[in-house]
Amino acid sequence: MRISTIAAVVLLAAALSACTSGEKGNPTASPPSSGSSGNDSAGKLPPRPASLKVDSVDTCKLLTADQMKQVDTLAAEPDKLDLVDGQQSASCHYSNYAKYNYTIGAVTHKGVDYWLMGGGNLTTNVIKVADYGAVKVELSGGSGFDCSVAIDVADGQQLMVSYIPLTTGEKDQSVLCGKAEKAAGLALATLKTLK
C-alpha cells in the first residue's frame, strides 16, 4: 500500500473539510484504476523529449515571481516531504496563505511509472504537460481534496506538482486538476531554463 505525504495531506484536507463545513468528509473507497487521457489510450507514457534531472534543483525557484502571480500565490517555503514511497524529496510550498497551496517536489528516487503500477486508493491518468508525459494522480472516490501531476522528467525521477485547497469552497475536481496542470506546466518551463 502506498503511503505518501500527498495521501496524508488529502486525509488532513478531508478532516479539515469535515470540521469546517459540517460534512462527513469521508470519500468512498474504491479500487485504484489506471486510465489515460490525451493521446495515449494504452496508458503508457510518451517518449521524453529530453532528460531534465532534478537532483540539485531548488524547488522554490521553479516558479518565477511572474509565474507565482499567474497562479495567485504570495509566498514560497522550502520543505522536505515524503512524496513517494517513504523517502524525503526536496519540495516547496507556494501558498496563498489560508486559501490553498501548490506543492512542487523534486523526486529523485522513483520515476513516474511508480504511479502506473496500481495499488492504494488512487486513480491515475496519463496526460501530457507541454511536451512531456505525466501522470495525473487523484484520490479515488473523492472530490475537492487535491490533485497532483507527476511529470516524467528523467529516468527514475519526476517533478511532482500538487494543488491542495485549504478551505471547503473548492469541490470541482476538474478545476483542482486544471490548476495543478497549469502550475506543472509553469514549473516545467522554468526547469527547462535551468539546464
Say how many C-beta atoms besides its own lie within 10 A of residue 49's C-beta. 11
pTM of the model: 0.78
The predicted structure's pLDDT at residue 13? 35
Helix, strand, coil % (nearest 5) of the chain? Answer: 30, 35, 40
Q: How many helices (H) and strands (E) does the chain have?
A: 3, 8
pLDDT at 144: 72
Going by C-alpha positions, the residue among 90, 69, 100 that lies closest to residue 163 is 100
- The alpha helices in the chain, defined as continuous H runs, are 5-21, 65-70, 173-194
Residues in the chain, total: 195
Nearest CA to 44 out of 112, 119, 99 is that of 112
Residue 195 is predicted with a pLDDT of 60
Burial 130-142 (b: 16+ CB within 10 A, else e): eebbbbbbbbbeb
Q: Which three cell numbers stand for residue 98?
A: 489560508
Q: What is the mean pLDDT of each run of 10 residues along the chain (195 residues)?
A: 40 33 28 34 81 96 97 95 92 91 96 88 93 94 85 97 85 91 98 87
Q: What is the pLDDT of residue 46?
A: 94
